[in-house]
Structure 1
Amino acid sequence: MSILSCFLVSWVFFVLGNLVNHVEGSAFFVFGDSLVDNGNNNFLATSARAEAPPYGIDYPSHRPTGRFSNGLNIPDIISERMGWEATMPYLSPQLNGQKLLVGANFASAGVGVLNDTGFQFVNIIRIYQQLNYFEEYQRKVSALIGEEETERLVNEALVLITLGGNDFVNNYYLVPYSARSRQFSLQNYVPFVISEYKKVLQRLHKLGARRVLVTGTGPLGCVPAELALHSRNGECAQELQRAASLYNPQLVQMLKKLNNDIGDDVFIAANTNQMHLDFINNPRQFGFTSSKRACCGQGPYNGIGLCTPLSNLCANRNLYVFWDPFHPSERANRLIVEQIFTGSNTYMDPMNLSTIVAMDSRV
C-alpha cells in the first residue's frame, strides 16, 4: 500500500472515529422565541435583533451575539451544566460538518405559537419553519452519518422549546382592540393557543424528539416593559398576569394528556412562571436588589423601548432580575436553569432534568 493510501485510510478512520464519538454524546435542539434565540435573527432582515452593545457585555467575547441577554441565555447554561459544547444558530454558515452533531438552535426572537404573532417584526422564523429546518437538519446529518444513526441522535437528544409569551404580549395585547382580542375573549383565546401548541409538539414528536423541556410563560405583567405602561407603584399589570395564570396550568394539562397518549413522559413542563415570581416577590433572598427595574433601558423602570448604546446601564448586572425590558439577566437565567436541573414538582413536572439524566444513564 502506498504512503498516500495509508494516509487516506488513516484519515478516514480518524474522521469516522470523531463522528462516532459525537453521535455517542447527546445532541441538544432549541426551538422558540427571544428567550432562547442565540443569534438566528442576526441573519434575517428584522427589527427583532440583539446585535448592538450593550447586549453581550458579559458574554465571554464581551460583544453582542444575537442573544437577548447581557451574557449567556438558558440554552447556553444548560449546555454548560451538561458539559456540552453550546449549540450554534441554525442559520449560521459555520454550522456544518461535525458541528451539526452537537445539535442546533432554531429559535427566533418575536415568534409565537400562532403564525400571526410577531407580524410587526416581518422576517422571523415562525415555529413551523423552525420545524421545517429541523427536518432539513436531519437530512444534512443523514448525509454525514446515515439515517439510522441520525434517528438515534435525534431520539436521544435533549430538546428545549419556549413559546407562548409573544402570543399575548406581541399579539393579543399588542394594541387595544387587536384582531385576536376582537375574535376571542381571553378565556377562549388561551385554549385556542394551547390547542395550536399541541399540534406543534405533536409534529416535534413525529420528527423524533423524545426528551422535550417545555417552558411556560413568565409572569407577563411583571416585566419592566409592562410596568412602564401600566404600573403606578410597581404592581404587576393584572390583565397580563391573568393571561399567564390561565395559560400556564392549561399548558401543563395539555402536556400530561400528550404524554398519556404517547405512553411515555416525553414532554416535561418547566414552571418558569413560578421561578420568576420567586425572584420578583423576594428578590433579596436570591441576591437581587431590583426585580422591577431593567438593568438596560430608559423611562419608568427602564422599560421603554429597546436596550441600546444610549440606554441607561446598571453597573452590576448580577443585582438585577431583568437585563432589558423583557428578558432576564444571565444571573436570573442561571437560577432558572438550577431549578430546571434540581427543582421539585412545583417547578418541574413530572421530573427535573437531573432525574432525566440519571434515568437515561441507566438505559
Structure 2
Amino acid sequence: MASSSIVGVIFSLVLALKYVALQAEARAFFVFGDSLVDSGNNNYLATTARADSPPYGIDYPSHRPTGRFSNGLNIPDLISKRIGSESVLPYLSPELRGQRLLNGANFASAGIGILNDTGVQFINIIRMYRQLEYFQEYQRRARALVGVDQTERLVKGALVLITVGGNDFVNNYYLIPYSARSRQFSVPNYVKYLISEYEKILMKLYKLGARRVLVTGTGPMGCVPAELAMRSTNGGCSAELQRAASLFNPQLVQMLKGLNKKIGNTVFIAANTQQSHLDFISNPQAYGFTTAKTACCGQGPYNGLGLCTAASNLCPNRDLYAFWDAFHPSEKANRLIVEQIYSGTTKYMDPMNLSTIMTLDARA
C-alpha cells in the first residue's frame, strides 16, 4: 500500500510538471452546447440524437463516424487546430484521463437547448445544467491530478466555446404547431425569455472560472435544408425562423456586452455565425460551393427530410455543399466559419476575434 501511494504521488507530480511546461505552448479548451459542437458525447447515451453510423465521418481522418454531426471535422476541432492544441475529447469518453484530461473537454450534447424542455423527444441528452455540473466534476478530477492552484490556472487560462439556442426554436417553439412554448410566448417575448435564461448559464460559467468565452449566435435557421423541405414552397428561407434569428442574435450581443460591463472585463466574445452562414448562403459560388440549399446527405426535397443514413442520397464531393445534412454545415463550411472566428472583422466578432484574444492572452 505504501509503495503504491508513493507511485501515485510521483505520477501526480510528473503530470503537474508536464502541465506547467505545456502551458507555454498550448491552452486548455472547453466546449459546451449542442450538435453543432458535439464531438461524440451522445455516443455514450441511450438517445436517438446520434451520429455514430456511416456516412457520418466519411471525411474524418479515420473515415469512420465519431459522433460528430459532420462529414469530417467540426468547429471545435478546427478551433483546436488554430490554437495549437489537439482536439479535446468528449467528456464521457473513457480515454479522457491523465494528460488528455488537462487538455480540456467537450461537454456538448446533440439536441439540447438553453431551456431544459428543449429536445425532450431525444430523451437522454446532456442538458445545459448537467454540462455545467460535469464542468465542476472535471475540475475536481483535475485537482486530484495537479492540485488546486494548477487547476484554477488551467481553467482561467482556457478558451471556452459555447454554441446553443438554435434547438430552442427548431426543436421546441416551432417543433409542432401550437407547441407549449408558442402558446406561452409570442416570438419576441420568447426571445427575451431565452436571452434571460442564457444569461444565467453564462454567469454560472463565469463563476466556475471561465474567463475567455466565445459565444456563437444561431445560424440562419430558416435557410437550412430541413426548413426548406418542410416550410417553404419555392426554395426560399422560412420567414418566421429568419425573423426569430434576427431577433435573437442582436439581443444576445447586447446581453454579452452587458455582462462584460457588469464584470468589468471582456470575458464574453460574440461570434456572428449567422452572418458567416449568410455569406455562403447568399453567394455560394463565391466560396466554392455549388449549392447552399441542398444537403449533401439526406432524402426528399433538398435532401432535407429525415436522417442522414447509409440509405440516403450522398453527394460525391462534400466540398461543393455548404450543408452536410438537413441541419449541419459541411466540414468546408465549418472551416469558413472558424476562419471568421479567428481573423474576422467586427462584422463577425464583437469586440475582438480569436487571433486578437490569443495575442492579448500571450502578453498576460
Structure-1-length-normalised TM-score: 0.96
**Structure 1 equivalent of residue 310 of structure 2:** 309
Is residue 22–residue 101 contact of structure 1 (8 Å, CA) maintained in 2?
Answer: no
3-state SS in 2 of match to 1:214 = strand
Count of aligned residue pairs for this structure pair: 357
CA distance 1:42–1:13, shift in 2 (3 Å) = closer
The equivalent residue for 1:3 is none
Q: 1:45 to 1:262 in 2, by over 3 A?
A: same
Look up the match of 2:289. 288
Are residue 167 (structure 1) and residue 161 (structure 2) matched?
Answer: no
| Maintained 8 Å contact 1:27/1:101 | yes
Please tell me whether residue 274 in structure 1 is matched to residue 269 in structure 2: no
Kept in 1, the 8 Å contact 2:38–2:68? The answer is yes
* Matched AA of 2:19: L
Compute the displacement of 1:20 (Å): 2.4
> Which stretches of structure 1, 4 residues or more, deviate above 6 A after TM superposition?
7-13
Match of 1:359 in 2: 360
Deviation digits for residues 139-159 of structure 1 (CA, Å, limit 9, x no counterpart) = 000001111110010000000
Structure 2 SS opposite 1:325: coil
Equivalent in the alignment of 1:203: 204
Q: 2:147 maps to which residue?
A: 146
CA distance in 1, matches of 2:90, 2:47: 16
Deviation at residue 234 of structure 1 after TM alignment: 1.4
Aligned to 1:115: 116
Distance in 2, matches of 1:351 and 1:292, equals: 31
Give the structure 2 partner of residue 133 of structure 1: 134
Matched, 1:186 2:180: no
CA distance in 1, matches of 2:161, 2:12: 34
Distance in 2 between the 1:282 and 1:247 partners?
A: 24
Aligned residue identity for 2:348: Y
Q: CA 1:237–1:11 in 2, change beyond 3 Å: closer, same or farther? A: closer
Q: Give 1:340's aligned amino acid.
A: I
Deviation, 1:90, is 0.1
Say if 2:35 is the partner of 1:52: no
* Superposed displacement of residue 15, structure 1: 4.4
Aligned to 2:222: 221
Query: Are the counterparts in 2 of residues 23 and 149 from structure 1 also a CA contact under 8 Å?
Result: no
Shift of 1:16: 4.3
Once the two structures are TM-superposed, the CA of residue 23 in structure 1 deviates from its matched residue by 4.6
For residues 239 and 8 of structure 1, the distance between their equivalents in structure 2, rounded to whole angstroms, comes to: 58
Aligned residues: percent identity? 71
Q: What is the SS of the residue equivalent to 1:258?
A: helix
What CA distance in whole angstroms lies between the structure 2 residues aligned with 1:91 and 1:141? 15
In structure 2, give the amino acid aligned to 1:17: L
Listed one character per residue, the Cα deviations across residues 246-271 of structure 1 (whole Å, up to 9, x for unaligned) are 00000000000000000011000000
Q: 1:133 to 1:8 in 2, by over 3 A?
A: closer
CA contact (8 A) 1:22 1:102 kept: no
Deviation per CA, 1:17-42, whole angstroms, max 9, x where unpaired? 32322455310000000000000000
* 1:318 match: secondary structure: helix
How far 1:345 moved relative to its partner?
A: 0.5
CA–CA separation in structure 2 for the residues paired with 1:317 and 1:326: 15
Distance, in Å, in 2 between the alignment partners of 1:294 and 1:257 is 38
Q: Which residue of 1 aligns with 2:3?
A: none
Equivalent residue, structure 1, for 2:19: 19
* Contact 1:296–1:313 under 8 Å retained in 2: yes
**In structure 1, C-alpha distance between the alignment counterparts of 2:8 and 2:230, rounded to whole Å:** 65
Range with bigger deviation, 18-27 or 347-356: 18-27
CA distance in 1, matches of 2:253, 2:326: 27
Assess, with a 3 A threshold, how the Cα gap between structure 1 residues 13 and 130 changes in structure 2: closer, same or farther: closer
Aligned to 1:109, the other structure's residue is in SS state coil
Counterparts in 2 of 1:8 and 1:331: CA distance versus 1, 3 Å = closer
Q: How far is 1:10 from its partner?
A: 8.8
Aligned to 1:79: 80
Cα separation, 2, equivalents of 1:230 and 1:248: 22
Counterpart of 1:40? 41
Alpha-carbon distance in structure 2 between the residues aligned to 1:331 and 1:248: 23
Whole-angstrom CA distance in 1 between matches of 2:132 and 2:105 = 12
In structure 1, list runs of 5 or more residues that go unmatched: 1-6
Displacement of 1:230 in angstroms is 1.4
